[in-house]
Structure 1
Amino acid sequence: MTTGRNAQRLPGASNQHVLKGIALLKSQRLAVLPIDSYDLDSELSVVDRHEYGGEYDALTFGAWTCHVLANGSGAESDIAFRPHSGRLTLTELGTQLPGIMSLVTEHFSLDRLQWVRIFSLRDGIMAPHVDFLEFSEPGTRLQIPLRTSEESLHSENDIVYHLRRGEVWKIHTTDPHSACSSASTARLSLCLDFSDAEEPVAIRNDVPATEPIRIIERPEATPAELEELIGSGRKLTPATMRSSFRQFATLHFERNAHAAMVFDWYEEAARRTGDVGMVAKAQAFRRYCIEKRTDGEAFDW
């Protein structure tokens, strides 16, 4: 397997800062797959047209959707992740995507594989969150972008980075992390969930990495920018709390700030309303996203 350990020097960026970002990044690029050897365009168009049931709407803003190719039940409406001990079963959508499933079976063992999904993100963003809070043991989550662009980014704690097409990334899911894309064409990322967070996932037939890991340097937020964001809380209403959260999450990708700071800003903005109910809602959303969540719990905006 191949692992990139060098940083790309970005225009105007401090190379020392970028190298520090790589050193602190807990997510890992495990390999690069020969994705150009697969003709996936027609299958990606199938995903673009596929309907989504809205299971994760509380955490997503803009056009984020989830599409299930294989799980424990074989039902493509069975979207919400949970560990299972059953056999991996193709959904109806999975049977329509033989090329993508070949990419999975030719490079990964199915022994521990529990879920095969594709995440679509277009002009949207996810709230910073921690995965697997509902479960006693986390699994291993890999993401492989099938279609992406420079406008599509991931974050982990205070680091923002880019996943290139065909790169296999082990996402560190138990620290606050997020994803965003300002592109008008949907970013499509293959998500593979394996049981056991400690056991390495074997990857076959990968190719050498030719590009360094890309860390995105962001400037510090100015006091004026933070005051403008937090001061917008004076206009918040119960009806606009959900839609307004997006601007707080967006600033994390544009300015050097920890993902958890998004909730600090949001709660302080809610305090500017003078409405204790709205403050409680902001605090509850923080708990749901990054602190404590029960199996099957849904957040009601």
Structure 2
Amino acid sequence: MLKSQRLATLPIDSYDFDEELSIIDSNDAGGEYDAFTFGSWSAHVLANSGGSDEDTSFRPYEGQLALTELGRKLPGIMSIVTDNFPLERLQWVRIFSLSDGILAPHVDFLEFSEPGTRLQIPLRTDEDSLHSEEDIVYHLRRGEVWKIHTTVPHSARSVSSFPRLSLCLDFSGAEEPVEIKNAVPAELPVRIMERPPVTDAEVEELLSSSAELDATTQRAAFRRFAAVHFTRQADATAAFDWFVEAAARTGDDALVHKARAFRTYCIEKRGYREAFEW
């Protein structure tokens, strides 16, 4: 059963922000979370604890939300936030951009004692942009408000070169619901993607394709492993099992150690701003 929830659908077409999406497309967001990302992914900060564009590393905090310089350039997108969501618990406003890329399956908030509440609202997307949670793959439609279940392994993928842009709102507290205003009735059911079972032959082909794995290619190779469960019935964490097996087949203990360490970093344990070194 999908733990993430579609909470509402917003009247997104009533907002005029097409020109603002172009600003996001041209914004250099840096690489705070490069360890998790393959292809083109970035997080653009519109509001945070002090309004600094340089403050890009997510963390809970005490105090007031403040617009960044980028946020001040995007009044249309920010009006989606102020019109429809309470601001008292809101701590971060970001836009996630993903094109021709994939996220390693991961668990959020491992660095912190308590998880918060994360909502995502796609502003620009297509059928090639998918999310996953454990063994389920699903599509977030434009304007849908989703509460992402961040404390189980999950991922996202887009095979399109046209960037998917998703508004991400992080609220303090995991239990208290977020009141959403101005929602409209959903016209379509939640989109769960059908996938055929992964076969032993496909797994063997994946493992065999990594026969030449070495320290210089190991990071890039993981993308193939992470992509499988988006098209075949498999749990997101199977990517790590296969990755460790592929490393073991090389006979190189250092590659096995690195593969196991990446699993730990992504879904088991990591420190605040801990960087993963390939």
TM-score by length of 2: 0.99
Aligned 8 A contact 1:122 1:186 in 2:
yes
Q: Is 2:219 the counterpart of 1:242? A: yes
Give the equivalent residue in structure 1 for 2:24.
47
Q: How far apart are 1:81 and its partner, in Å? A: 0.6
Question: Residue 62 of structure 2 aligns with which residue?
Answer: 85
The separation in 1 between residues aligned to 2:31 and 2:234, in whole angstroms, is 29
Unaligned runs of 5+ in 1: 1-23
Residue 235 of structure 1 aligns to a residue whose secondary structure is: coil
Tell me what 2:102 maps to.
125
CA offset digits 1:227-256 (Å, max 9, x no partner): 011122321010001110000001111110
Identity %: 68
Distance 1:245 1:200 in 2: 36
In 2: Cα distance, 1:294 partner to 1:54 partner: 18
Q: Distance in 2 between matches of 1:230 and 1:74?
A: 46
Match 1:134 to one of 98, 103, 111: 111
Give the alignment partner of residue 149 of structure 1, picking from 126, 134, 140.
126
User: Is the Cα–Cα contact under 8 Å of residues 139 and 196 in structure 1 kept in the other structure?
Assistant: yes
Instruction: State the partner residue of 1:230.
Output: 207
Indicate whether 1:58 and 2:21 are aligned.
no
Distance 2:272 2:180 in 1: 31
Contact 1:53/1:77, CA 8 A, preserved across alignment = no
Unpaired runs of 5+ in structure 2? none
Query: In the alignment, does 2:236 pair up with 1:259?
Result: yes
Conserved in 2, the CA contact under 8 Å of 1:233 and 1:271?
A: no
Contact 1:60-1:125 within 8 A present in 2 as well: yes
- Residue 278 of structure 1 is matched in structure 2 by 255
TM-fit CA distance, 1:75: 1.1
**Following TM superposition, by how much is the alpha carbon of 1:294 offset from its aligned partner in structure 2, in angstroms?**
1.1
Q: Does structure 2 retain, via aligned residues, the 8 Å contact 1:31–1:206?
A: yes
| Cα displacement string for residues 183-224 of structure 1 (whole angstroms, at most 9, x for unaligned residues) | 111000000000000000000011110011000011111111
For 1:208, which of 185, 198, 218 is the aligned residue?
185
Query: Which residue, 172, 194, 198 being the options, matches 2:149?
Result: 172
* Residue identity opposite 1:295 in structure 2: Y
- SS across alignment from 1:234: coil
Q: What secondary structure, in the 3-state scheme, does the structure 2 residue paired with 1:69 have?
A: strand
- State the SS of the aligned residue for 1:115: strand
- The Cα shift of 1:73 comes to 1.9
Which secondary structure state, in structure 2, belongs to the residue aligned with residue 119 of structure 1?
strand
1:245 and 1:73 map into 2 onto residues whose CA distance is 36
The Cα shift of 1:109 comes to 0.6
Confirm or deny: 8 A CA contact 1:157 1:259 kept in the other structure. yes
RMSD over aligned CA atoms reads 0.6
Question: Which residue of 144, 160, 170 maps to 2:137?
Answer: 160
Distance in 1 of aligned mates of 2:130 and 2:22: 22
Q: Which residue identity lines up with residue 257 of structure 2 in the other structure?
A: A
Question: What is the CA–CA distance in structure 1 between the aligned matches of 2:219 and 2:188, rounded to whole Å?
Answer: 38
CA distance in structure 2 between the partners assigned to 1:86 and 1:276 by the alignment: 47
Counterpart of 1:179 in 2: which secondary structure?
strand
* Post-superposition offset of 1:264: 0.2
Aligned match of 1:102 = 79
Aligned residues of 1:148 and 1:165 also touching (Cα < 8 A): yes
Normalising by structure 1, what TM-score?
0.92
In the alignment, the residues of structure 2 paired with residue 129 and residue 271 of structure 1 have an alpha-carbon distance, to the nearest angstrom, of 22
Cα displacement string for residues 80-122 of structure 1 (whole angstroms, at most 9, x for unaligned residues): 1100012100000000000000000000010000000000000
